[in-house]
């Protein structure tokens, strides 16, 4: 493991006390991480974020005083160097993708043991992003549908049906290849061999894709707001 010399600070925001304590214990098991006092809600989480500017933020979505998405969005302004990971029970695409859209870099399963959690966190520190085949498949669909429509809410949009209009959706052909192989269930190592690149490159591709999704969804939000007259474009410059 190529952890940096200084231990990476980790902020955990989780409303369930037992899970919070367990997660803190699991992360603290790896000496390359320094666990900050865990938070239970959006408000103290925001304060801690501002105060500590952690390297990693592990956040649950359903918090007592709001949504974890607010916290993820806040990192962009309060602590830009923080990488956010969403804590989820199933790693299902609905929760993960909304978190990624808000700016998260990946997900962490709630029941993960010491080894898997530490592996996932190290992957993030190394510039990668945890992803599952199911999420990859949804990402492919999302990027292959025209901006502004979500294939999951627009049942008429067949997968790839509008490929002529926006077939890449801002993704490079290489990124699409990577996504397709992940969707097939190949491991990073297999993908790296198939595409002739290092495993690290594969995970950094995934990270780029996540970033693009976040930018894209922000763009859509701004576009919609401008359409509604809520924001003037000059204000954003």
User: Nearest distance from residue 51's CB to other proteins, in Å?
Assistant: 33
Closest distance between other proteins and the C-beta of residue 113, in Å? 7
Shortest Å, Cβ 134 to other proteins? 5
Check binding of 51 to other proteins (CB under 8 A).
no
Contacts of residues 14-23 at CB distance under 8 Å and 24 or more positions apart, as own/partner, are 14/38, 14/40, 14/58, 14/59, 14/60, 14/87, 15/40, 15/41, 15/60, 15/62, 15/63, 15/64, 16/60, 19/60, 19/87, 19/110, 23/58, 23/87, 23/110, 23/117
CB of 181 to other proteins, least distance (A): 9
- Interface with other proteins, residue 133, by CB under 8 A: yes
Q: In the set 137, 208, 211, 218, which binds other proteins (CB under 8 A)?
A: 137
Options 106, 112, 128, 169; binder of other proteins; rule CB under 8 A: 112
Q: Does 202 bind other proteins (CB under 8 A)?
A: no
- Tell me whether residue 54 or residue 91 sits nearer to other proteins (CB atom): 91
Distance in Å, CB of 185 to other proteins, minimum: 1
122 near other proteins (CB under 8 A): no
DSSP characters for the chain? ----SSPEEEEEE-S-HHHHHHHHHHHHTSTTEEEPPPB-SHHHHHHHHHHH--SEEEEESEETTEEHHHHHHHHHHH-TTPEEEEEESS--HHHHHHHHHHT--EEEETT--HHHHHHHHHHHHTT-----HHHHHHHHHHHHSPTT--TTT-TTS-TTTTHHHHSSTT--HHHHHHHHHHHTT--HHHHHHHHTS-HHHHHHHHHHHHHHHHHHHHHHHHHHHHHHTSS-GGGG-
Question: Which part of the chain contacts other proteins (CB under 8 A), choosing from 78-86, 100-108, 169-177, 179-187?
Answer: 179-187
Q: Any contact of residue 132 with other proteins (CB under 8 A)?
A: yes
Closer by beta carbon to other proteins, 146 or else 185:
185
Judged by CB under 8 A, does residue 53 bind other proteins?
no
Q: Does 115 bind other proteins (CB under 8 A)?
A: yes
Q: Does residue 25 interact with other proteins by CB under 8 A? A: no
The stretch among 25-33, 87-95, 204-212, 214-222 that binds other proteins (CB under 8 A) is 87-95
Q: Which is nearer to other proteins, 177 or 190 (CB)?
A: 190
Residues that bind other proteins (CB under 8 A): 89-92, 111-113, 115-116, 119, 132-134, 137, 159, 183-187, 190
């Amino acid at each position: 493991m190529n952890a940096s010399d200084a231990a990476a600070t980790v902020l955990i925001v989780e409303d369930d006390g037992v899970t919070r304590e367990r997660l803190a214990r699991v992360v603290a098991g790896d000496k390359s991480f320094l666990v900050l006092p865990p938070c239970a809600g959006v408000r103290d989480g925001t304060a801690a974020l501002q105060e500590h500017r952690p390297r990693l933020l592990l956040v649950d979505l359903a918090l007592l005083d709001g949504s974890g998405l607010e916290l993820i969005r806040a990192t962009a302004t309060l602590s830009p160097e923080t990488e956010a990971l969403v804590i989820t029970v199933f790693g299902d695409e609905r929760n993960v993708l909304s978190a990624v859209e808000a700016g998260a870099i990946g997900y962490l399963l709630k029941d993960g043991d010491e080894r898997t959690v530490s592996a996932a966190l190290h992957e993030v520190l190394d510039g990668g992003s945890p992803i599952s085949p199911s999420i990859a498949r949804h990402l492919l669909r999302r990027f292959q549908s025209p901006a502004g429509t979500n294939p999951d809410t627009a049942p008429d949009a067949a997968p790839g049906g509008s490929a002529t209009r926006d077939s890449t959706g801002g993704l490079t052909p290489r990124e699409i290849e990577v996504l397709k192989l992940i969707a097939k269930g190949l491991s990073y190592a297999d993908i790296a061999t198939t595409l002739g690149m290092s495993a690290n490159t594969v995970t950094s591709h995934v990270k780029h894709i996540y970033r693009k999704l976040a930018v894209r969804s922000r763009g859509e939000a701004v576009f919609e707001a401008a359409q509604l007259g809520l924001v003037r474009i000059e204000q954003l410059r």
